[in-house]
Structure 1
Amino acid sequence: MAGNPTPAPSGPITPSGAAVSRAPRQKLALAAMLFAVSMTFIDQTIVSIAAPSITDELGLSASGMQWVVNAYLLSLAAFFALGGRLSDLFGHRRIMLIGTLVFVISSVLCGCVPSGDLAVTWLIIFRSTQGLGAALMFPAALAVVIAVFPVERRGRALALFFGLSGALTAVGPLLGGWLTAWTWRSIFWVNVPVAVVAIVLTVLARIPESRRHERLDVVGAVLVAVGMGLSVLGFQQASSWGWGDVATWACVVGGLVVLVLFFGYERRTTHPLIDFEVFRDRAFTVDSLVLFFAMLAFVPVFFFSSVYAQVSLSASPNQAALFLLYFFIGFAIASQWGGKILDKRGARPAMKIGCALGAVGFYLWAQKLTDLSMHDQWPYAAMAGAGIGFLLAPASTDAVNRSIGASYGEVTGITQTIRNYAAAIGMAVFSTVLAHVSTDKITATLQARGLSQAEAEATAGKVAEAVTGHPDGQGPSGDGPVAEALRGAGDAIRMDFAEANQWVFYGMSIALAVAFLCALAHPGTRVTEKVPED
């Protein structure tokens, strides 16, 4: 890794002889970091539940609402590497606190969005700054946990960190459903008390600070942000621009070219934003690949299952949240088992079990979507969640452990960039799939009910925008043949949307199957050596 890192302390974090205060301080530090990162995980899912209410009140289009959701994920992916590097250069605690403040201020402003033409721009801007705050906060928070726990206890601490922070994503749908019944704006304001608790605990924990005396790679930060932004923009807009449009491929290819330039620049610079030498470790590379393919499904599943529940199952936001709870029951239980397997046998067995279970779970879940019954789907939703739970903490912890003696902020920035870039791509690609398949199926349904091809295609394009707050599938109101056809086609359209979602869930199953093939290449070695003492 770049530079000469300051070793993370492996002994007590209290002054010499104050052994009594070591455990409370470590626990306070871990609790503080969990409160902080819980906001970032909650915000990956809470907006999905409130999407219909937001679009209904503010009059957003489906593509506009998709950008509100995706702007957060894209900003995370673009700035995670920068956040990890800043954490190393200016101190983990300091950057964590700055990230928390940026995040919570942005949350308040998201909740204060005005109605009118400015609404979508306002939300996208402050959702993006939310993502920036999270990108600063998360790698710094993880580096704090690593710094305060000695390596022989770090495995359990990190398993708890990744397991609980991942499980806290379940709070998003549940809290979102309850808060949306009052006002959707409160889904952003709820971050304020959580941030206050995180800041207070951070101060009380008296976390030691350390800095690396190196320069910031500004050019590298700009290149990686531009490259990721362009490529995801192309994927995101493919559903509206079309895959045959020059602009779509200009963004995708242009972004990838910039990322190639970024790689070349990083290999030549003295203090790179990302030191790609870490990928010489095969285990780290496999961990990263497993996380990439798993994240194609993990974050998008909240959005698509929520919209499916509200459109095809005619569920309320609260009911949709309970639907997602099945997924997290499996996740929460399996994450604990995955942590134990990691401690006893290493990451490879846990990743193999998780990927295989997740692939089967998503496949069986997809087959049950057309039953239009929550009760029939819960075992398969739980199985899919268990698969992700088994692999998430072991893969993430093993990757971080590979950075022993190096820059924890930097390596965390790498893995989290990969995870969140994958989530953004998954959202974009699966949104495109859902939009195209829904439109085709609904067009056929409306034509069968007497509409001309032109009328059916025009209307299907509107009805397929399922996140516009019309989950009953009735679309435009009024008199005439279009309105009459829609009023009689509600059940058929709900089934069309369910069948379109099957394609998305089969895609998630394929992503986990590819992750399983990657996991087979893991060498199975375990990191057991201790961090050198000062």
Structure 2
Amino acid sequence: MATSGTAGPAGGTERGRRWIGADHPHYKWVALSNTTLGMLVATINSSIVLISLPAIFNGIHLDPLQPGNVSYLLWMLMGYMLVTAVLVVALGRLGDIWGRVRIYNAGFLIFTLTSVILSLDPLDGGGGALWLIGWRVVQAVGGAMLMANSAAIITDAFPAGQRGMALGVNMVAAIAGSFVGLVLGGVLAQWDWRSIFWVNVPIGLVGTVWAYRSLHETGIRRPGRIDWWGNITFGVGLTALLAGITYGIQPYGGHSMGWTDPWVLAGLIGGAALLVVFCVVENRVAEPMFPLRLFRDLAFAGGNGAALLGSVARGGLQFMLIIWLQGIWLPLHGYDYADTPLWAGIYLLPLTVGFLAAGPVAGYLSDRFGARLFAAAGLLVMAASFAGLLVLPTDFSYPLFAFLVFLNGLGGGLFAAPNTSIIMASVPAESRGAASGMRATFQNAGMVLSIGVFFSLMVAGLAGSLPGTLSSGLTAQGVPAADAHAIAALPPVGTLFAAFLGYNPIRQLLGPQLLGQLPAANQQTLTGREFFPQLISGPFHDGLVVVFWLAIAMSVVAAGASLLRGRGAGAERPPQPPRSAPSARVGAGS
């Protein structure tokens, strides 16, 4: 068994170019810091586009509210998350076979190169949108390599008594990155839309060089074959299912949503059928990419179930808060629509602060007092914050809103690290890469599902009350009743996306001819800052009630799942005292 040997920069071995040896007592901190940087940049990238979409579409001269452009908007939002959800398991399994560090390092390199290519988008209109969507898909491959193997690298490097703390720091970076991206995207979008891709380049370059120079293969590598049929059925099945959910949000055949669209039904039914075939395949192959036997351990199954439900609830909250702030609260409080992305990110800072405050502390304490109670308590705190947001008026007092979103971030921070520790401790060492990928799959799939689930619920809520509110509001400003009724009958998804993007769509809905026939005072009212937010605030709150009740139910069920106990590799062991290095490692040259 070969390792890097000495603590010196050369190490005196074939890995001499490395800065620090794998047996050096500080190596674990090197592994933690680099993988935390990798997770941070990968998850910032998943949300930085979210809040920068108005600037991106303006930059490539594409109107996101035109019916034909809704697909561009959806794939810009979901393409990155969908690809990472599909690939993390396969890439985690490849890490077990070929080396976790090798896959992780390649991910950093791919991520950095595609950031450069994205910032150089030479096209306009639909072509520019396709350039960004296509290269973000490639970038997602690099992001999935980082996500799939970071937790496994940390688990290999740290002794059991410090593992929860280390995973806590990593997981806080991963999930807080999605919130940091909101603020960063809002700030950078004010300067230049390309800067949201430039910002990844220097971080990626530093991280890539650092990873190649510092990280070692310290885990157990088990040579094996790639499960091609498992990869194909899982990838195609999950892609079809999540794509069906994505297109189900869009109107079809006179309906407000597309759940009756044959292509959507084909994606949902065909995707589910392929996932069933995938389960059959995985139970029959000798070396499955997705070891279903791991789910026999209740701790592993419960931890992943909690991760999925928590991710859906957290993703739904993120989207709803952006709509709430950009489309309603900020315009009502005097902010121009062009500035709402920046200020929405700033006003959501308490969410990030709550995460950063609780995450590392929860990981540290869970090493000493057990992970389950912390994970369950965090989810119950999240449920309490959803209940508080449920009764908050649409035009709320900001200090109370800030407290509730801080509480939500605090709950998420309490849950993230202990839950990851439960999952990773319940599997044997040779399956840590696959287990890390499976955990990331549930987490990323939850984010994609949250868009479909919560947008559908919100559209359903708007469909019941928005038409009447919109029709009466327009006629009150002098719009002819027939025209007002026709506009009110349009699918509400356009109105929802307008709020999500911080747009006032009234000018576009009326058109220049109809708007020009109205008195100047009415024109000013209709296209001003307050008319649209006041108009949709009531219907939006109706939809919000349904969304938050579902989020409460998911959080409570997830809390129960995180309390399950298993008989896995480490799930039932009491906390271990720290030790200087893991007892069994396979060297870099093995």
- The TM-score normalised by the length of structure 1 is 0.90
User: Which structure 2 residues correspond to residues 420-459 of structure 1 after superposition, within 5 A?
Assistant: 420-449=444-473, 450=475, 451-452=481-482, 453-458=485-490
1:52 and 2:99 matched: no
* Matched position secondary structure for 1:299: helix
1:193 and 2:240 matched: no
Distance 2:364 2:502 in 1: 45
CA contact 2:373–2:563 (8 Å) conserved in 1: no
- Shift in alpha-carbon separation, 1:262–1:213, aligned structure 2, 3 A: same
How far apart are 1:298 and its partner, in Å?
2.1
For 1:137, the equivalent position in structure 2 comes to: 146
* Matched position secondary structure for 2:216: coil
CA contact 2:39–2:170 (8 Å) conserved in 1: no
How far apart are 1:498 and its partner, in Å?
3.9
For 2:265, the equivalent position in structure 1 comes to: 249
1:235 and 2:245 matched: yes
- Shift in alpha-carbon separation, 1:230–1:378, aligned structure 2, 3 A: same
* Matched position secondary structure for 1:288: helix
Query: Which of 466, 486, 490 is 2:498 aligned to?
Result: 466
For 2:572, the equivalent position in structure 1 comes to: 525
Deviation string 1:277-315 (CA, Å, 9 cap, x unpaired) is: 111111111111111100002234333322321111225
Distance 1:263 1:528 in 2: 34
Distance 1:497 1:74 in 2: 30
> Which blocks of at least 5 consecutive residues in structure 2 are unaligned?
13-19, 253-257, 476-480, 586-590
Query: Which of 147, 158, 162 is 2:171 aligned to?
Result: 162
1:290 and 2:322 matched: no
For 1:22, the equivalent position in structure 2 comes to: 24
How far apart are 1:439 and its partner, in Å?
4.6
CA contact 2:164–2:418 (8 Å) conserved in 1: no
CA contact 2:323–2:501 (8 Å) conserved in 1: no
How far apart are 1:369 and its partner, in Å?
5.0
Query: Which of 265, 275, 280 is 1:259 aligned to?
Result: 275
For 2:315, the equivalent position in structure 1 comes to: 299
* Matched position secondary structure for 1:268: coil
Query: Which of 216, 220, 226 is 1:216 aligned to?
Result: 226
* Matched position secondary structure for 2:512: coil
How far apart are 1:455 and its partner, in Å?
2.9
How far apart are 1:29 and its partner, in Å?
2.2
Identical pairs, percent? 25
Deviates more, 1:463-472 or 1:243-252: 463-472
How far apart are 1:21 and its partner, in Å?
7.5
Task: Look at both structures and tell me which one has the larger radius of gyration over its CA atoms.
Answer: 2
How far apart are 1:55 and its partner, in Å?
3.1
How far apart are 1:460 and its partner, in Å?
5.0
Distance 2:283 2:369 in 1: 35
1:513 and 2:572 matched: no
1:495 and 2:527 matched: no
Query: Which of 362, 383, 388 is 1:364 aligned to?
Result: 388
CA contact 1:227–1:254 (8 Å) conserved in 2: yes
Distance 1:90 1:58 in 2: 43
1:399 and 2:423 matched: yes
User: Which structure 2 residues correspond to residues 57-68 of structure 1 after superposition, within 5 A?
Assistant: 57-60=61-64, 61-68=69-76
How far apart are 1:384 and its partner, in Å?
1.4
Provide the aligned length of Structure 1 versus Structure 2.
Answer: 528
- Shift in alpha-carbon separation, 1:116–1:289, aligned structure 2, 3 A: same
CA contact 2:466–2:536 (8 Å) conserved in 1: no
CA contact 2:165–2:362 (8 Å) conserved in 1: no
CA contact 1:85–1:410 (8 Å) conserved in 2: yes
Residue identity in the other structure for 1:515: A
Distance 1:132 1:223 in 2: 18
CA contact 1:106–1:127 (8 Å) conserved in 2: yes
Question: What CA RMSD, in Å, does the superposition of the two structures yield over aligned residues?
Answer: 3.0
Deviation string 1:62-112 (CA, Å, 9 cap, x unpaired) is: 442122111111101100111101112222222112111222222233333
- Shift in alpha-carbon separation, 1:326–1:475, aligned structure 2, 3 A: farther
* Matched position secondary structure for 2:166: helix
Residue identity in the other structure for 1:73: M
Deviation string 1:325-382 (CA, Å, 9 cap, x unpaired) is: 1112222222234223411221210122111110110121132251244333111111
Query: Which of 390, 409, 422 is 2:414 aligned to?
Result: 390
Residue identity in the other structure for 1:59: D
For 1:225, the equivalent position in structure 2 comes to: 235
CA contact 2:383–2:556 (8 Å) conserved in 1: yes
How far apart are 1:28 and its partner, in Å?
2.1
Query: Which of 311, 326, 329 is 2:350 aligned to?
Result: 326
Distance 1:474 1:436 in 2: 21
- Shift in alpha-carbon separation, 1:62–1:435, aligned structure 2, 3 A: farther
CA contact 2:172–2:360 (8 Å) conserved in 1: yes
How far apart are 1:235 and its partner, in Å?
1.2
Query: Which of 185, 188, 197 is 1:179 aligned to?
Result: 188
Distance 1:341 1:461 in 2: 44
CA contact 2:81–2:447 (8 Å) conserved in 1: yes
Residue identity in the other structure for 2:62: L
Distance 1:171 1:520 in 2: 30
- The TM-score normalised by the length of structure 2 is 0.82
Distance 2:351 2:290 in 1: 34
Distance 2:353 2:553 in 1: 22
Residue identity in the other structure for 2:235: A
CA contact 1:346–1:526 (8 Å) conserved in 2: no
Distance 1:145 1:406 in 2: 14
1:342 and 2:385 matched: no
How far apart are 1:160 and its partner, in Å?
1.9
Residue identity in the other structure for 2:416: L
Distance 1:420 1:206 in 2: 25
- Shift in alpha-carbon separation, 1:297–1:127, aligned structure 2, 3 A: farther
Distance 2:6 2:115 in 1: 36
- Shift in alpha-carbon separation, 1:256–1:475, aligned structure 2, 3 A: farther
How far apart are 1:419 and its partner, in Å?
1.2
Query: Which of 394, 412, 431 is 2:436 aligned to?
Result: 412
CA contact 1:48–1:307 (8 Å) conserved in 2: no
Deviates more, 1:157-166 or 1:33-42: 157-166
Distance 1:389 1:507 in 2: 21
Deviates more, 1:523-532 or 1:301-310: 523-532
Distance 2:305 2:285 in 1: 25
Deviation string 1:94-136 (CA, Å, 9 cap, x unpaired) is: 2112111222222233333321221332222222222221111
- Shift in alpha-carbon separation, 1:441–1:186, aligned structure 2, 3 A: farther
For 2:255, the equivalent position in structure 1 comes to: none
CA contact 1:78–1:228 (8 Å) conserved in 2: yes
Query: Which of 75, 89, 100 is 1:92 aligned to?
Result: 100
Distance 1:104 1:31 in 2: 18
